[in-house]
Amino acid sequence: MNKNKITIIIIAVILVVIAIIVCSPFLNKAKSRITEEQISKSKVIKQMVKEPSSRQILQPKIEVPQRPTQIPQDKWDKIVLFYKDLLKNNVLIEFYGKVNDQFEKPVENASIEIEIYPVSSIHDLLTWKSAPPSTHTKHTNSSGEFSFKGFGESLSIKNIKKNGFITKDKTASFYSTVNKKSPMPIIIGKYNPVTYTIINKRECEPLFVQKIKSHDVSINGVPSYIDFKNRKITSALTPDSDLKISAQKGEIRLTSNYKINDWKLSLETINGGILDTKPNSNVAPQASEYANEASFNTADLKQPVSTLFDKRYFVYDSKTNRYSLISAYISMHKDYILVDMTIYTNPSGSRNLAYNYEKRLEKYPE
């Protein structure tokens, strides 16, 4: 029996040794895998320590100057506390834009002037001054796109320029949302770039321009008639009339702060059609896409923010086979409406209505 037990023990030991030999490669692989995971995790932890979160990055380094002797300590402490809280508005700003010409083709190598407004310094606060903006210039790529990243409280696109193009000087500003507890980055146009249009002078055609200043549109549906060719406004329809304009006073509506009158302004073509269009559109659609009338009704707006509206319309005259673009500023008041219009007409019959003042026609071609 003792011999049998010894034999069994020897066999068991041999089997254990064999199992260790066979399984050792797998154990080494598992061990190396665990080691790699630990190293990877440690790298992530080290990276998190070296590279703080985006919210930490947003917080600028606070450097408090020495207290001026003329300011008491308790007042200075309040100023410093207010300043530290104000610095939270100094956030990361990302802006993505695109520049096209009047035919919606990308413009390469256009220069864009960008201004970033930072939070004022503590001394600026004491003297009621604003921190000056930092100016940056970006250029568009072959796709007409550009981008900018920086820190500040707000960003402004000041102007867009390129030789041979009519520049765009209209400012577009984007301000941060102030949130004292958790200021967030401002990211604009990352997945849908903000598009700007500049006019290629070489691609412009001669246009006849008519301007109507502060025309008082009669209320209660009494129409006026506009003659593009002779630059006239009449109270009766004439053979040369191109457009009928009328206004109808609506109901009084209560808003959150005051009472307003709703208005309906109607523009009706005598021959052809009219079409509401986007702000940057300069090429008229084909004649088949127009309607006989276009109207603008403030009752359709939930909450008008002002009484001044900027509208643009394409007009097609089937009698002369010519296209026009109307740029209108509509000022609505309690008992009347004022309309300022600039009307661009292409006498060639082309649908290109991009305007270059150097090619302006003084007389309407027959």
Quick: pLDDT tens for 267-295.
999 999 999 998 778 999 999 999 999 98
Closest CA to 274 of 262, 259, 284: 284
Which segment of 90-99, 119-128, 229-238 scores lowest on mean pLDDT?
A: 119-128
Give the mean model confidence (pLDDT) for residues 114-132: 69
The three-state (H, E, C) secondary structure of 180-199, written as one string: CCCCCCEEECCCCCEEEECE
Which segment of 99-108, 147-156, 225-234, 255-264 scores lowest on mean pLDDT?
A: 255-264
Higher-confidence residue: 96 or 260? 96
Which segment of 69-83, 136-150, 204-218, 261-275 scores lowest on mean pLDDT?
A: 69-83
Q: Which residues pair with 196 in a beta bridge?
A: 99
The fraction of the chain above a pLDDT of 70, given in percent, is: 68
Quick: pLDDT tens for 146-201.
999 988 878 888 889 999 998 765 555 565 555 545 667 888 888 999 999 899 99
Of 170-174, 256-260, 310-314, the range with the highest mean pLDDT is 310-314
Higher-confidence residue: 229 or 284? 284
The per-residue pLDDT for 152 is 80
Judged against a pLDDT cut of 70, whether residue 203 lies above it is answered with yes
Q: Which residues, other chains included, contact 223 with Cβ-Cβ below 8 Å and sequence gap of 6+? A: 235, 244, 245, 246
Give the mean model confidence (pLDDT) for residues 248-268: 74
Distance CA 75, CA 69 (A): 12
Closest CA to 196 of 323, 134, 111: 111
Q: Domains of the chain (ranges plus CATH)?
A: 73-201 (2.60.40.1120), 205-355 (no CATH)
- Please classify residue 124 by burial: count the beta carbons closer than 10 Å to its beta carbon, then call 0-12 exposed, 13-18 middle and 19+ buried: middle
Q: Which residues pair with 316 in a beta bridge?
A: 273, 323
Q: Residue 312, CB half-sphere, CA atoms under 13 Å: how many?
A: 12
Which segment of 5-19, 41-55, 149-163 scores lowest on mean pLDDT?
A: 41-55
The per-residue pLDDT for 313 is 95
The per-residue pLDDT for 345 is 94
Q: Is the separation of the CB atoms in 265 and 250 below 8 Å?
A: no
Closest CA to 208 of 324, 102, 329, 351: 324
Q: What Rg value do the Cα atoms of the chain yield, rounded?
A: 35
Q: Is the separation of the CB atoms in 296 and 287 below 8 Å?
A: no
The per-residue pLDDT for 134 is 84
* Size of the chain in residues: 366
Which segment of 11-25, 78-92, 286-300 scores lowest on mean pLDDT?
A: 11-25
The per-residue pLDDT for 148 is 92
